[in-house]
Amino acid sequence: MADTRHQLSSMHIATLSSGMDLALPVMTIDGARKGPVVGISGTVHGDEVVGVQVIRDLWRSLSADQIAGTLVMMPVCNPLSFEALSRNTPLDMLDLNRTFPGSDEGWLTERISHALASKFLNQIDYYIDIHAGGTFPVVDYCYSINDERFARAFLSQLLYRPKQMYPGVSASVTLARGVPTVVIELGGGYIGQAEYIARGVRCIRNMLRAAGMLEGDVETRTGQIALNELKVMRPKNGGLCYPAGDHRPGTEWPGGVALAEIVSIRTFEPIEVIETPFEQNIMVLNRNCVTRVNPGDYAFMVGNMANAERLD
């Protein structure tokens, strides 16, 4: 790792009112051979910290001699929200991943997205954006948006083909340029993350082989499932969310199965039951222990198996 081809630098955003400098860490590995520029981002949402750990292990384990091209990694895209373990930036309460391509005359978060768009996302040939379930939920799937071979190389059991992305996501910048783009949703919640981190590193290395950055055959996985429909189960009411069973990602359920009860903290009585929404369901994001939940939170995400495609 200690070589001149591993370069640490900073992307300056602004001086804060406290006098502190807000700058994003940039980690570049300049490969020994010519090849593509691959960009990997983590912590676009500050409460999704798996990506930082995956990037740490990639940074420490990849040598420049192995690499064709340039690997640019941004482990913490929103340091203020990372610090606060918050999805949104505490200073202006904006969600960085809804503000791209940003503005250099806008709110602080829009200035971060503007810097990321103009100095990072506009300069890469492949893009991998690592997200997670956040503080409470656990998640396990990846998006297949504009390059299914590249997405499948992450070797997730579940892929999701969105009809359209949320507006203002970081991926919108690379998608507009036709850059192969994969958003990974991996881990999170109140469980050990070691398995997710190890898989993240192993499978991103496989994506780097698919991108022509690392040598070797691209590993494939049969039995992957491409989902065309995902439903986010957002409770109407807040309180404590009591899971009704072990609904870990990848498990299949019939319709009308109770996933969780929302219990009022005033009466300790259930005020809402969350049920599987489709006739045939597959769990994508869940809460596996009792958690505080707010109205509108991501409580569960469920895929529709009736219009899913099983891939060879």
* Nearest residue (CB) to Zn ion, 126 versus 143: 143
CA-nearest of 48, 72, 43, 55 to 200 is 55
* Nearest residue (CB) to Zn ion, 62 versus 76: 76
Give 57's contacts (C-beta < 8 A, 6+ positions apart): 197, 201
In the complex, what is the shortest distance from the CB of residue 183 to Zn ion, in angstroms, rounded to a whole number? Answer: 8
Q: What are phi and psi of 45, to 5 degrees?
A: -105, 125
What gap in Å lies between CA 201 and CA 203, rounded to an integer?
Answer: 6
What gap in Å lies between CA 64 and CA 186, rounded to an integer?
Answer: 27
* Nearest residue (CB) to Zn ion, 73 versus 213: 73
In the complex, what is the shortest distance from the CB of residue 163 to Zn ion, in angstroms, rounded to a whole number? Answer: 19
3-state per-residue secondary structure call for 140-181: EEEECCCCHHHHHCCCCCEEECCCCCCCCCHHHHHHHCCCCE
In the complex, what is the shortest distance from the CB of residue 45 to Zn ion, in angstroms, rounded to a whole number? Answer: 4
In the complex, what is the shortest distance from the CB of residue 277 to Zn ion, in angstroms, rounded to a whole number? Answer: 22
Query: Could you say which residues in the range 209-238 bind Zn ion, by CB under 5 A?
Result: none
In the complex, what is the shortest distance from the CB of residue 55 to Zn ion, in angstroms, rounded to a whole number? Answer: 15
In the complex, what is the shortest distance from the CB of residue 129 to Zn ion, in angstroms, rounded to a whole number? Answer: 8
| Selected binder of Zn ion within 111, 114, 131, 247 (CB under 5 A) | 131
Region label for 46, one of left (φ > 0), alpha (ψ between -120 and 50) or beta (otherwise): alpha
CB 252 within 8 A of CB 304: no
Say how many residues touch Zn ion, by CB under 5 A: 3
In the complex, what is the shortest distance from the CB of residue 131 to Zn ion, in angstroms, rounded to a whole number? Answer: 3
* Nearest residue (CB) to Zn ion, 40 versus 67: 40
In the complex, what is the shortest distance from the CB of residue 50 to Zn ion, in angstroms, rounded to a whole number? Answer: 10
Q: Exposure pattern of 230-243 as b/e (b: 16+ CB <10 Å)?
A: beebebeebbbbbb
In the complex, what is the shortest distance from the CB of residue 5 to Zn ion, in angstroms, rounded to a whole number? Answer: 30
* Nearest residue (CB) to Zn ion, 37 versus 117: 117
* Nearest residue (CB) to Zn ion, 70 versus 86: 86
What crossing angle do the helices spanning 194-210 and 50-61 adopt, rounded to 10°?
60
What gap in Å lies between CA 240 and CA 269, rounded to an integer?
Answer: 10
Query: Site mask, Zn ion, residues 7-46, x = CB under 5 A?
Result: --------------------------------------x-
Q: Is 287 in the site for Zn ion (CB under 5 A)?
A: no
* Nearest residue (CB) to Zn ion, 48 versus 125: 48
* Nearest residue (CB) to Zn ion, 87 versus 152: 87
Query: Site mask, Zn ion, residues 73-112, x = CB under 5 A?
Result: ----------------------------------------
Give 216's contacts (C-beta < 8 A, 6+ positions apart): 209
CB 34 within 8 A of CB 49: no
Among the listed ranges 98-106, 125-133, 192-200, 232-240, the one in contact with Zn ion (CB under 5 A) is 125-133
- The sign of the torsion formed by the CA atoms of 304, 307, 311, 312 equals positive
Q: Which residues bind Zn ion (CB under 5 A)?
A: 45, 48, 131
